[in-house]
Amino acid sequence: MPQPPRLNAVALISPQNHPILIRTFQKGDELKYHYVAHTSLDVIEERTSGKTKPTECYLGLLYVMDDVAAYGYITPLKVKIVIALALTDSVVRDADVVMIFKALHMAFYEAVSNPFLKLDGVSESTADYSPYQAVGSMKWKRLRQAVDEIHRALCAYAP
Amino acid sequence: MANQHVLVTYTAAQSFQSSDNWIHFLAALRSLLPLRNLHWKPTSRPNLRTVQELDVSLVPLDSLRDEHTSQVPVTLLEKPLLNLYVLSCEDAETYKTTVKKQIKDWQTSVNQRKNQEWLIIHVVRPDSKNVDRKFFSMKGSVLDKIKGDFNIDKRDRCVQLPWSTGEQSPAVWADLIGKIKDGLLAAFDTAVLAREEEVKRSEGQRHMPGWNFCTYFILKESLASSFEGVNLFEDALQQYNELEATFMNVLGEKNMSWFGNLINPAPKDDSLPLLSPSKKSYRELILANTISIFDLRVYLLARQSMLLNKMQQPIEICRKAILFLSTFGKRLREVEMALPEYFVESWIFSSALSVVDQCDAWASSWPELEGIALARYNAIKGELLELAKSQLDILGVKVGHLPPKPPFLMALQTVSTTPSSPLPERNPSQRISKYEIMLAIGDIEAFYDLYCTISNRAIDAYVKAGRRKFALKLHGCLAALDNHRGRLSNALAIFSSLPAHYAPHMWTSLESFMLSHAIDTHAVLQKPRDREWIHLLLGFLKTYVNEPTSESLISHDINEYVTKLVTALREASEKLDSDLPHLDHPIMALEITKDTRCSQDEDLVYLTVLIHNRLPCDVHVDKIGVVLVGEDTTRLKFTAEFTKLVSGRNYLVLTCPTSSHGTYVHESVEIRIARLHFQWNRKSGGGAGDALTSRKHAIPVHLPRNPESLDVQLCLPPNTALGTTPKLHLTISSGRNDLATASVRLSAPAGVTFDFVNSELHSEGVGEIDTSEDGISIFNVPSNSNVIISVPHSDATRFRAIKIDVSITYKTVRDPALEWTLRTSRIVTVALPIAVNVEDFFRGERQVIPGLDSSVKLRTMFVTRLFSRFTISTTTQQHVRILSARLLSAPDAEQGAKIFGCHPSHSVMTAVPDRPVSYIFCIESDRGPVSDPLNLVISYRLLREEVEALVNKTVENALRQLSQESDVGTKLVQAIIEYLECDASWVELYNTTGELIIPSSLDVGEELEEAFSPVQKILSQPNPPSPSLGPWREMTIPVDVPKMNIVADAWIAIQPPPQTEELPRNQLPSIYAGQALSATVYITASLHWNDPENKRQRYRMRYDVEERTKDWLICGRKRGDFLVQDKSTFSVCLTLIALHHGHIELPKVEVKPLPLDGEEDVPKVLPSSDTHQSHGAETVLVLPRGGRSTFIVSMGTKRV
């Protein structure tokens, strides 16, 4: 039985490429994972802008850098989810990764369905009605908790 | 492994071999090779495989030696797949005797071999073919015999080739080639099937003890190389992929007993090209079971890459390489202690570079990559180069060339240093072999150069691939390197330029990281803290406040850091040489509360605002200004100075020296820190969510009115005189202020201008004024007094009302340094509420002219009187009370006209829209026309003013009894007036009786309740309009007395017929219809109202008696001209016959002046004239003629 992958960081990015939430589970490596999230956008764009549009949300392994494997996922509403898994020599099954993504997508979906979310997030410009707020803002407290919960569940699963 | 061709053996019949044809035949056959388009339908796979081109080696059968010595499975192509036997025998006898046996021997030897096919080729001369058939048709041909002898199953393994030397046509070979292909494929298929069976069997034994992965590997690889041999690269790659997967499985099961070590580091291991499968004798190592996992995996990757190369897929090669280097590098790090120093870094570094070089080398032989593929290729190359770069990061930190801090630490990996098995000691004699790395470790400059070169190569590749964000990241690393190397200005330039790339997508974390580095670098450089620095700092603070909670990427204590920066910001902004405005910075947020109040003893308005300081530290600001804008864009600026804004919420009270009041919305905010001006405008309001206000909509702020503050009123003066320059009364109430100076500016829109210079101080007010072109200055006004100034203005009659903006700036005696303002606007109704029309009637006094027939009361009139009727009507829907209207001659006019008014029926008249009020005056002038205009003076007021005055007075009286404050009165009056404004139903009752019924249910508020009920009671009493209550307006209208050249009076006198009987005196005798009456027309003319110099003039006039054919028959001169002079009477006799009986009006006499006689060419002027019909109201009673009347009555006719 292969080990479930270790989750190092999660990034949720809005359709406008604004970061919604970047959560790092590695102390001291924040810069690295912010870079990972940011650079992943390039790869996601490559994957999604081709002639053949991906039919699935799951974009697979985006790239490997140093000891991190970045996987991408794009929701039907173009919210991008990037997770950084610790690189292992063993095979990472796509099903495992997709499961993590599904959980994150669901967490985001629930957070964004909160009808009171908009009350906090006052947008100045009328053009941008997106409820996606700046990274790390307090408004995503619930989402952050959910993401932490997913991470904890994965850690508990691993020996 | 050498590329092996498919082997095909041949054997020739001895007779054929010895002939010349054999050599030619062999050459011709070879020329047809390689074979093309083989279609293989594998039995074990679903799809048809097509081999485009297959190289075949033709070798003689006897040249092959039996090499069954080795048990090691090698490629299936090692042995021939097809054996050919070539014979050329056309004689059946020969065949039977010799050849058949030879073939039999050959077939026996061939059939012994496994997985090989055979084919007999019967070469015949093309021309002999048909002949043979004829001759040997009975016995059958040699071919048929061969077929019969050797075809043992369904498959036809004999083929005839009609060929001779010199035969060029390729068509003859088709059958043979087809048979060869079939044979080859059939043999290959069986061979593959067999080998796959073996592989499966071996795999099935995986869990058995003694199973060896290496053996399995070799077996499986033989399949792969077989596929490769027949150019089926995908199938070959598939084998390797399966091998890799199996390996991973085995690895996962940790069943590695049959393996050697993870790695047996050999010299140069780290610098050998990764993708070369021949750099080591891997197969021998595998066979010897001594291969290390490292070598095995490198070998696997190299083989896969070779195949991918043949499939022309460089992206896939790189992808596999990078994944392998990363994952396996991580494993290697676990045993790093046992490896030569820096081995892993050196290996990954050189391998990554070698993969890039190798791929480029391979790619050069392919057709050019284009479009997306090229971009992807560049992207993956960039990743490889970046991987190499990150090895340099690790190395640099380890060696000490780079500081152990981000971003160099990013690549450093956290590896569990407790491996499962004890590691062998590091062999100190082993060294890494990559030259660049060795050089870089020793020489710091070389290291930097290498770092930059690799980084720039990666950036280059990323840029070509369109991966901007990857390139940005590397730029950031380079900047950090520059910073470390002391190339600070370089670093600063990059750090300052990078945030702009992160800002648009709100990646505040990275933006703030770059900015903080830029600031730090700036500090180290000790460059002057100029505007650019301030902009950097403000940018940083923006990111800080936008992202206060998230994990910051800045290592040091962020709050302390920010505090220091803010202090530095203040110092720097003090040194600026000019003001630096900065728009919409989110460090502060301002909210305007609704808490506004007036100062008790000064004209100050206080506004409480909530400033949210988002910085972690206190900020000293020099000035805070909030601009509120009211209607008509009047602006008020509220300020506070020198305050400390603590971190978090600050309630501040801002003041504005003004006496303006009303509703305002806030427009902009300015906070000054030394010369740095933070500005926020509500309208521009960019920056989603973080701009100044947290609400999109403007919050209205109500500034209360302070009754004691300075106030201004504008109204029409109580006395209006038409025909003079219009004026307005400007009343400035000083309230509680002792005004030292005040300057007033009025401005009216739409072209109405004020003549300030000719403004006058009204006698009722106090103070002094000084006028200038653009305003009025007022001095020395004590408190609680009014300054009344009448200001002339240009004609505004085209407007009903004009809106006048008033702007007053004033200083008080108490605080002369401070300048107060009052900005407001007033609407003044300039249209008059009443209009006056005049009608003139000239009349004379009747005089009996003596000397004529005494029986006729002959009258004539000498017109000396003028009656003027003035009709006063309202111009609006407002009712107007009119106290009086007087017609006065101008005070300085010469006497001569006497004016008599009439007594009005009521003391106060009311003009309503559909019922004007008329006044009649009689002007008597002894000396002819009145040349000076008279003045009509009307005292009037609007009903509204009257009611207001009434309510005011009543409330005042009521309050006096209750001894309450006047403040209550104002509110009460306001409440009542508001009620009256809403509804017009009270007007009719009030007009009639003077009762004002206010319902007691009117909600006036609790405090007013007490005063309200007596007021209500008094108002509901009948109250006839009284002239004494309240002020009256006066309007003076100049009236010209009309002039008239001729005023005539026409009269028809009827002389009754002579009577038989004496009538009582003064009674006209009866007149009967049809009776002829003699009448005289008298026309008396007067030149009294003519100009005195024209009095002597004679005028010609024409009279014309009206034709009334239904009433009168007129005989005589009914029309004629006559001469006129003053007080002359003209008479003419007519005969009138009344046509019917009744009261009949006499016909009118029209008198018209004729043009004056003048010179011929002068246009004739018609003198003005007015004729009064004296008999206009008289009628004559005409009786019906008496006597007989005949009536015809129908007597009735007998009806049949």
**Lowest pLDDT segment from A28-37, B544-553, B598-607, B661-670:** B544-553
List of chain B residues whose C-beta atoms are within 8 Å of the C-beta of residue A39: 467, 469-470, 473
pLDDT score at B261? 67
Q: Looking at the complex, report in whole angstroms how far the Cα of residue B408 sits from the nearest Cα belonging to chain A.
A: 10
What's the whole-number mean pLDDT along residues B650-656? 86
pLDDT score at B787? 85
Contact A32 B331 (CB under 8 A): no
Residue ranges covered by each domain of chain A = 7-156
Of residues B1161 and B983, which shows the higher confidence score?
A: B983
The residue of chain B with its CA nearest to that of A135 is: B547
* B572 domain residue, yes or no: no
Read off the pLDDT band of B556 (50, 70, 90). low
% pLDDT > 90, chain B = 1
Read off the pLDDT band of B457 (50, 70, 90). very high
Examine the domain organization and report whether B662 and B600 are in the same domain. yes
What 8-state DSSP symbol labels residue B793? B
A15 in reach of chain B (CB within 8 A): no
Task: Using the 3D structure, point to which of B1015, B1042, B1069 is the last residue of a domain.
Answer: B1042
List of chain B residues whose C-beta atoms are within 8 Å of the C-beta of residue A69: 326
Q: What CA–CA distance (Å, rounded) separates B1168 from B840?
A: 14
Q: What residue ranges in chain A does DSSP mark as E strands?
A: 7-13, 19-24, 58-65, 68-74, 80-86
pLDDT score at B455? 92
* B489 domain residue, yes or no: no
**B539's tokens:** 């940018």
Name residues 48-87 of chain A within 8 A of B (Cβ).
50-51, 63-67, 69, 87
Helical pair B314-334 and B293-310, crossing angle rounded to 10 deg? 170
**B1100's tokens:** 């010609």
Read off the pLDDT band of B1154 (50, 70, 90). confident
Read off the pLDDT band of B458 (50, 70, 90). very high
Of residues B846 and B725, which shows the higher confidence score?
A: B725
**Lowest pLDDT segment from B762-766, B942-946, B1077-1081:** B762-766
Of residues B397 and B1023, which shows the higher confidence score?
A: B397
Contact B390 A24 (CB under 8 A): no
Range ranked top by mean pLDDT from B141-145, B768-772, B851-855: B768-772
**B915's tokens:** 């019922």
Name residues 495-554 of chain B within 8 A of A (Cβ).
502, 505-510, 513, 546-547, 549-553
Contact A136 B513 (CB under 8 A): no
- B1038 φ, ψ to 5°? -75, 135
CB count, 10 Å around CB of B566? 20
Q: Closest partner residue to B410 among A2, A31, A43, by Cβ?
A: A31
Examine the domain organization and report whether B196 and B217 are in the same domain. no
% pLDDT > 70, chain B = 86
Read off the pLDDT band of B1164 (50, 70, 90). low
Cis peptide before B407 (omega within 30 of 0): yes
Q: Which of B266, B272, B326 is closest to B434 using CA atoms?
A: B272
pLDDT score at B849? 53
Residue among B320, B470, B515, B546 with most chain A CBs within 10 A, to mutate: B470
- What are the pLDDT digits (tens) for B558-595? 778 888 888 888 888 888 888 888 887 777 777 788 78
The residue of chain B with its CA nearest to that of A34 is: B510
Read off the pLDDT band of B140 (50, 70, 90). low
Using the predicted structure, report yes or no on whether residue B1067 has a pLDDT greater than 70: no
* B494 domain residue, yes or no: no
**B172's tokens:** 């003859």
* B370 domain residue, yes or no: no
pLDDT score at B895? 60
Q: Which of B1162, B1014, B1168 is closest to B1091 using CA atoms?
A: B1168
CATH number, domain of B676, equals 2.60.40
List of chain B residues whose C-beta atoms are within 8 Å of the C-beta of residue A89: 251, 327-328, 330-331
The answer to whether B637 touches B670, Cβ cutoff 8 Å, is no
Using the predicted structure, report yes or no on whether residue B268 has a pLDDT greater than 50: yes
The residue of chain A with its CA nearest to that of B408 is: A32
What's the whole-number mean pLDDT along residues B513-541? 81
What is residue B50's three-state secondary structure? strand
List of chain B residues whose C-beta atoms are within 8 Å of the C-beta of residue A50: 372
In whole angstroms, what separates CA B201 from the centre of its chain?
A: 72
Name residues 685-714 of chain B within 8 A of A (Cβ).
685-691, 694-696
* B749 domain residue, yes or no: yes
Examine the domain organization and report whether B845 and B975 are in the same domain. yes
pLDDT score at B685? 46
What's the whole-number mean pLDDT along residues B515-525? 81
pLDDT score at B976? 83
Q: What CA–CA distance (Å, rounded) separates B320 from B323?
A: 5
Of residues B313 and B966, which shows the higher confidence score?
A: B313
List of chain A residues whose C-beta atoms are within 8 Å of the C-beta of residue B470: 39, 42
What's the whole-number mean pLDDT along residues B368-381? 84
A144 in reach of chain B (CB within 8 A): no
What's the whole-number mean pLDDT along residues B242-250? 80
Helical pair B966-982 and B1006-1019, crossing angle rounded to 10 deg? 60
Examine the domain organization and report whether B1050 and B1017 are in the same domain. no
pLDDT score at B344? 85
Examine the domain organization and report whether B676 and B726 are in the same domain. no
Contacts of B404 (CB under 8 A, 6+ apart): B397
Task: Using the 3D structure, point to which of B257, B289, B311 is the last residue of a domain.
Answer: B311
Q: Looking at the complex, report in whole angstroms how far the Cα of residue A136 sits from the nearest Cα belonging to chain B.
A: 5
What 8-state DSSP symbol labels residue B633? G
Contacts of B1091 (CB under 8 A, 6+ apart): B928, B929, B1043
Number of domains in chain B: 6
Q: Looking at the complex, report in whole angstroms how far the Cα of residue B352 sits from the nearest Cα belonging to chain A.
A: 12
CATH number, domain of B817, equals 2.60.40.740
- What are the pLDDT digits (tens) for A26-81? 777 778 888 888 889 888 888 888 766 667 888 888 888 878 889 999 988 888 99
CATH number, domain of B1149, equals 2.60.40.10
pLDDT score at A101? 92
Read off the pLDDT band of B554 (50, 70, 90). low
Examine the domain organization and report whether B666 and B720 are in the same domain. no
- B541 φ, ψ to 5°? -60, -35
pLDDT score at A138? 53
Residue among B473, B474, B585 with most chain A CBs within 10 A, to mutate: B473
- SS3 for B1021-1060, per residue? CCCCCCCCCCCCEEEEEEECCCCCCEEEEEEEEEECCCCC
Examine the domain organization and report whether B915 and B801 are in the same domain. no
- SS3 for B378-445, per residue? HHHHHHHHHHHHHHHHHHHHHHCCCCCCCCHHHHCCCCCCCCCCCCCCCCCCCCCCCHHHHHHHHCHH
Using the predicted structure, report yes or no on whether residue B695 has a pLDDT greater than 80: no
Q: Closest partner residue to B252 among A24, A90, A133, by Cβ?
A: A90
Q: Which of A61, A78, A75, A69 is closest to A36 using CA atoms?
A: A69
Of residues B528 and B1136, which shows the higher confidence score?
A: B1136
Q: What CA–CA distance (Å, rounded) separates B1052 from B1058?
A: 18
**Lowest pLDDT segment from B327-331, B882-886, B1073-1077, B1161-1165:** B1161-1165
Instruction: Report the b/e string of B115-144 with b at 16+ CB within 10 A.
Output: bbbbbbbbbbbeeeeeebeeebeeeebbbe
Name residues 90-109 of chain A within 8 A of B (Cβ).
90-91
C-alpha distance across the termini of chain A, in Å: 12
Examine the domain organization and report whether B107 and B181 are in the same domain. yes
Calculate ∠ Cα A102-A107-A112, nearest 5°.
125
- What are the pLDDT digits (tens) for B84-112? 887 777 777 777 777 778 888 887 777 77
* B657 domain residue, yes or no: yes
List the domain range (segments joined by +) for residue B274: 209-311
Of residues B858 and B198, which shows the higher confidence score?
A: B198
Q: What CATH number matches the domain at A7-156, 3.40.50.300, 3.30.70.980, 3.30.70.580, 3.30.450.70?
A: 3.30.450.70
Of residues B1163 and B805, which shows the higher confidence score?
A: B805
Q: Looking at the complex, report in whole angstroms how far the Cα of residue A42 sits from the nearest Cα belonging to chain B.
A: 5
Examine the domain organization and report whether B870 and B996 are in the same domain. yes
Q: Looking at the complex, report in whole angstroms how far the Cα of residue A80 sits from the nearest Cα belonging to chain B.
A: 14
Q: Closest partner residue to A64 among B323, B413, B686, by Cβ?
A: B323
The residue of chain A with its CA nearest to that of B469 is: A39
